[in-house]
Amino acid sequence: MSNAHDTLASERRRKNILSVVLAIICVIYCLPVVAVVVNSFKLNTYVKTDTFALPNSESFAGLSNFITGMTFGNYPFWRAAFFSVLITVASTALILICCSMAAWYIARVNSKFCKLVYILCVFSMVVPFQMVMFTLSKTADTLNLNTPWTIPVVYLGFGAGLAIFMFVGFVKSIPLEIEEAAAIDGCGPIRTFFCVVLPMLKPTLISVGILELMWVWNDYLLPYLVLDINEYRTIPIHIQYLKGSYGTVDLGATMALILMSIVPVIIFYLACQKHIIKGVAAGAVKG
């Protein structure tokens, strides 16, 4: 009895220590976001000198940082926001549709070609972007993929690895008899996919959509390399150009625009985070 009590106490102590450690890690991860929120309401001078201090009567800037950031320079903020939304929505939709169809084909057609395509898609996840970025920039210019309406094709290539990996794992967990029953009822391959398979992919569709959306929305390097930044800018690129004379940077306005760009993503992620867990778990049933 004494040994069981000691074991239980030791287990409880271990869980408490683990909880404290994870709580500290969580606070450390949240500190940058807190710093952005605090400094977005402070005057530029105080952002530089009292970075981690809370705004007071002297340093509080109100909404002036947000107004300055949205009206700074000759490139309107609403235009950058429009291109960010356009690229994010179009890229995410293209990745979800194309990769779910490709994953269904790979999972159901047991051929060496499909296995090779799957291996290449998974391998693309470990290739650093820096290895291909200069070649990619030249290729995008050659193929006229350097506009907000065509860059989703480039994002499809980079996002296909993770998406196909998760979709294939989930499709393999779907009983083949369901698709055979649809075929007996007269459904062709396209109708079977959109009417039978796609609705069953909802957990993975949501989780992949959230992950890809957050990646594309926050991406800076790919649009900077591919797009003509004088004509097309996303929000991350627009924030970089908040510079005055002699290269001075208005940190208050910069923090305000960063806050405006991360708040929608944070809200969206918090509202949908449970679907990420379900989708990952569902995609990991078989693989």
If one counts every other C-beta atom within 10 angstroms of the C-beta of residue 80, the result is 22
- Check if the beta carbon of residue 103 is closer than 8 Å to that of residue 167: yes
- Mind listing the pLDDT tens digit for each residue in 20-40? 998 999 888 888 888 888 888
Distance CA 101, CA 98 (A): 5
Residue 245 pLDDT > 70, yes or no? no
The C-alpha R_g of the chain, in whole angstroms, comes to 24
Residue 238 pLDDT > 80, yes or no? yes
User: What pLDDT, on the 0 to 100 scale, is given for residue 101?
Assistant: 92
User: What pLDDT, on the 0 to 100 scale, is given for residue 96?
Assistant: 94
Residue 285 pLDDT > 60, yes or no? no
- Mind listing the pLDDT tens digit for each residue in 142-191? 888 889 999 999 999 888 888 998 898 888 888 888 888 888 888 888 88
Distance CA 271, CA 228 (A): 34
DSSP 8-state assignment for residue 227 = S
| Residue 287 confidence class, pLDDT cut points 50, 70, 90 | very low
For the ranges 42-46, 114-118, 133-137, 265-269, the one whose mean pLDDT is highest = 114-118
Q: Which of 1-5, 47-51, 211-215, 249-253 has the lowest mean pLDDT?
A: 1-5
